[in-house]
Amino acid sequence: MKISSVKIISLLFFILSAFYLYTAHQIQVFSFDENAPFNAKTFPIYLGYVGMFFAALKILLPEKIKEEVDHKVLDYKKVFFLIIIMIFYGFTILRVGFFLSTSIFLLLAYYFLGERRWKFMLLFSFPFVGLFMFLLHGLLDIYLRDPLLKFLGIIG
Amino acid sequence: MIEGILIGLNTALSLKNILMVMMGCFFGTIIGMLPGLGPMTAIALMIPITYGFDPATGLILMAGVYYGAVFGGSTSSILINAPGVPGTVATSFDGYPMAQQGKAGKALAIAAYSSFAGGTIAAIFLLFAAPSLSKVSLAFRSPDYFALMVLGLTAVSAFSAKGQFLKAMMMVVLGLMLASVGQDSLSDIPRFVFNNMNLSDGISFVLVVMATFAMSEALMIILRGTDPSRAAKAISLTELGSIKLDKDETKKTLKTIPRSSVIGFIVGVLPGAGSTIASFLAYGMERNFVSQEEKEKFGKGSVHGLSAPETANNAACSGSFVPLLTLGIPGSGTTAVMLGALLGFGIQPGPRLYMTNPEIFWSVIMSMYIGMVILLILNLPLIPYIARILAVPRTFLIPMILFFSVTGIYLMSFNTFDIFLMIGIAVVATGLRLYKFPMPPLILAFVLGGLMEENLRRSLLISDGSFSFLWDRPLTAIILVFTVLIFSWQGYLSFKSK
């Protein structure tokens, strides 16, 4: 018997709700609040039960529409690379600074998505980010942390 | 009320705010024209920018984006039969055949005039209905608010995707779970933070919206290998022809507008219904109103068939502001995003907004008119040029969406944890969307989570822990009866199909 992906997701949601319910019971409330009609864990406890209820219904009831996805036509490789460079961007944005990390992120993203026109790729990375920073930092006075540009004396 | 209108006009007509409406309409049209990227993505991308402005300006910008996105969706529906947003699907039924008959310009003009008229009439309704409803809603107590939120979430789940009620309800619970992360609002007790300091303030609303809409939409486009800019290229190549309407077309449009505006506004006010249902309902109703001869033309390029859904979807957009401005409860995913943004400004929409922040209340209503005029004057003749800007290849478009999402959240917190959390939520949302788990109910639940808990807390404390508050007040009981009816209807639908 083949279990549909939606039922598997519902099962995962059931487990998540059960874990949420367990964690809700572990919330430490003030002793004077323990027997109050409502305290910090009341709403989460209800939520845990409601989540389990809907997930159980989805698992148990027969499916009206079979939602199956053809994984062969999905481009997981590109999405995986994009996620990796986004994580890399997240790691570098504070350390390296906004200008360099964002420009490199954009360049890499263009490249991984199949763009090879270097003239446009360079135009829409370094100068584009520079202009964006000027708009935010220079005109709208929104602070942008950039140790590199600060070291070079470009921003104050 | 006159004083309020003047306050609103004074705020909305400042040079800065007019520029904001223009920018919003322009940006919204661009995003709305891209199939798959709707008003919610457009507004989500705008939120970090709005935090640099005062609340009225921020909200005016978002309202402009909203209308622009709906108009942009109509354009791609008419010209290439690719609706940018679900609310414009019905527009393509007669708009696209008209475009194929070489009347693309006329079809766009009918859509623009109908949108303008529908939006304006509904904004007039809103002008009169909102202050009166605000006064009525002052009679609402905590149990009523709690019941109303339950009704809103149930209705959004029932209408968000056909036959996906249980999935939508699971998304509601997930949204409420995410909203419960962080310190409890009353006792400051940390909940679900797992000893992580970054979670003690809870999860940012902008983060959730960006992750579930902008970022996951970009990932979905790559995953499916679709190219939204292809549609824009097709639009830019379309020969529009004349945009002048003849006497007969004007007469037909003028006949359709009033009835479709009323339908659109009423449906828009109802929680969860929104512009998609309004446009389909208006299309169906219009077919019943016209003569047999006109009925035959439906689906083949009927002026009535194009004007009705366009009028209704814009009227519904204005109508959806009624529960947001009067009760502080959004009736749709898009207005939920706006509520989240307002809460971010420290403003609590609701019956008292009318008295405490009249400039916001009235300037939003006034900016709707201004937005409509701008859409009519600017967007209609500029469509082919806007489409040319849009024909940016997806190799550039997707990194830009991701860049704006990451930068948006980075600018708000300067915290890399938020970036990683956003990536994580976006990946989960992409997986869920692949299996048709709807995201608007999650956003609505996330925004309402805190308010819902607060009202349940008050209700339970007043009734000493008893759930009798659910039926003690007739108003609460009536609202809950509607909720039960929706549940029963959904149960009946699943039973019937079996």
Among A18, A39, A68, the domain boundary falls at A68
Say if residue A144 is in the same domain as residue A79.
yes
Three-class SS of chain A: CCCCHHHHHHHHHHHHHHHHHHHHHHCCCCHHHCCCCCCCCHHHHHHHHHHHHHHHHHHHCCCCCCCCCCHHHCCHHHHHHHHHHHHHHHHHHHHCCHHHHHHHHHHHHHHHCCCCCHHHHHHCCHHHHHHHHHHHHHHCCCCCCCHHHHHCCCCC
Average pLDDT over residues B290-302: 86
Burial (CB count within 10 angstroms: exposed 0-12, middle 13-18, buried 19+), residue A2: exposed
What percentage of chain B reaches a pLDDT higher than 90? Answer: 18
User: Based on the domain organization, do A58 and A88 belong to the same domain?
Assistant: no
Partner B contacted by A6 (CB < 8 A): yes
Q: What is the pLDDT of residue B386?
A: 67
Reported residue count of chain A is 156
Distance, in Å, from the CA atom of B149 to the CA atom of A38, rounded to the nearest integer, reads 19
What lies within 8 Å, CB to CB, of B18 at 6+ separation is: B12, B370
**Within a domain: A39:** yes
Q: How far is B78 from chain A (nearest CA, A)?
A: 29
- Are the Cβ atoms of A6 and B423 closer than 8 angstroms? no
C-alpha B177/C-alpha B172 separation (Å) is: 9
pLDDT band at B271 (very low <50, low <70, confident <90, very high): low
Q: Are residues A56 and A9 in the same domain?
A: yes
Low-confidence residues in chain A, pLDDT < 50: none
Nearest CA in chain B to A128: B400
**In angstroms, what CA-CA distances link B183 with A41, B192, B196, B467?**
11, 9, 12, 25
Q: What's the pLDDT at B349? A: 76
Q: Is the pLDDT of residue B85 over 70?
A: no
What percent of chain B shows pLDDT beyond 70?
91
Q: Which residues pair with B190 in a beta bridge?
A: B183
Comparing B53 with B463, which gets the higher pLDDT? B463
A48 and A103 inside one domain: no
State the pLDDT at residue B404: 83
Same domain, A79 and A138: yes
Segment B427-442 mean pLDDT:
91
A97 and A63 inside one domain: no
A147 and A78 within one domain: yes
Residue pLDDT, tens place only, B133-190:
777 777 788 898 899 889 888 888 887 667 788 999 999 999 999 999 999 888 889 9
Beta carbons of A54 and B465 less than 8 Å apart = no
Answer with the residue of higher pLDDT: B354 or B53: B53
Residues of chain B numbered 136-165 and touching chain A (CB < 8 Å): 163
Structural domain that includes position B411: 2-497
- Cβ within 8 Å, pair B189-A28: yes
pLDDT > 70? residue B36 = no
Q: Is B157 helix (H, G, I), strand (E, B) or coil?
A: helix
Mean pLDDT within B274-303? 84
Within 8 A of A54 by CB-CB distance, chain B residues are 166, 169-170, 173
Contacts of A132 (CB under 8 A, 6+ apart): A102, B407
ipTM, 2 decimals?
0.94
Residue A79 located in a structural domain: yes
Q: Rounded to two decimals, what is the model's pTM?
A: 0.82
Q: Identify the domain boundary among A15, A33, A68.
A: A68
Band (pLDDT 50/70/90 cuts) for residue B423 is: very high
pLDDT in tens, B192-237: 999 999 999 899 888 888 898 888 888 998 998 877 666 666 666 6
Could you tell me if A13 and A48 lie in one domain? Answer: yes
**Quick one: residue B188, left, alpha or beta (phi over 0 = left, psi -120 to 50 = alpha)?**
left
Locate tokens 């108009």: which residue?
A: B71
Cα of A48 to nearest chain B Cα, Å:
8
Same domain for A59 and A19 = yes
Which 189-208 residues of chain B touch chain A by CB within 8 A? Answer: 189, 191-192
CA distance B59 to chain A (A): 18
Domain closes at, from A68, A98, A123: A68
Q: Is B385 on the interface with A (CB under 8 A)?
A: no
Residue B116 has pLDDT above 60, yes or no: yes
| pLDDT for position A155 | 72
Query: A97 and A49, same structural domain?
Result: no
- Residue A50: what pLDDT? 97
Tell me which residue range forms the domain holding A120: 73-151
Task: List Cβ neighbours of A80 (8 Å cut-off, separation of 6 or more).
Answer: none
d(CA B320, CA B317): 5
| B456–A contact, CB cutoff 8 A | yes
Q: Does A19 touch chain B (CB under 8 A)?
A: no
CA-to-CA distance for A79 and B226, rounded, in angstroms? 13
- At B368-412, the pLDDT tens digits run 777 778 877 776 777 767 666 666 788 888 898 888 888 888 877
How many CB atoms lie under 10 A from the CB of residue B195?
7
Interface test with B, best of A113, A128, A137, A140 (most B CBs within 10 A): A113
Residue in chain A lying closest to B445 (CA): A47
Q: Is residue B128 less than 8 Å (CB to CB) from chain A?
A: no
In angstroms, the Cα distances linking B186 to B35, B183, B330 are: 43, 9, 24
Distance from CA of B181 to the nearest CA of A (A): 10
Chain B from 233 to 292: CB within 8 A of any A CB: none
pLDDT at B431: 94
**What is the model's pLDDT at position B498?**
53
Residues A12 and A28 in one domain: yes
What's the domain count of chain A? 2
User: SS3 of B190, please?
Assistant: strand
Looking at the structure, tell me whether residues A96 and A126 fall in a common domain: yes
From CA B109, how far away is CA B127, in angstroms rounded? 26
Structure tokens belonging to residue A84 = 């990796």
Nearest CA in chain B to A99: B407
- The pLDDT score that the predictor gives to residue B92 is 84
List, for residues B311-340, the tens digit of each pLDDT value: 998 888 888 888 887 777 776 777 888 788
> Does residue A80 lie in a domain region?
yes
Task: Tell me how far apart the alpha carbons of residues A21 and A41 are, in angstroms, rounded to a whole number.
Answer: 9
Q: Is residue A156 in a domain?
A: no
CB contact under 8 A, B498 and A39: no
pLDDT at residue B214 in the model: 83
At residue B10, the pLDDT reads 81
Contact call for residues B229 and B397 (beta carbons, < 8 A): yes
Count of domains in chain B? 1
C-alpha distance from residue B26 to each of B69, B85, B341, B383 (Å): 9, 16, 20, 10
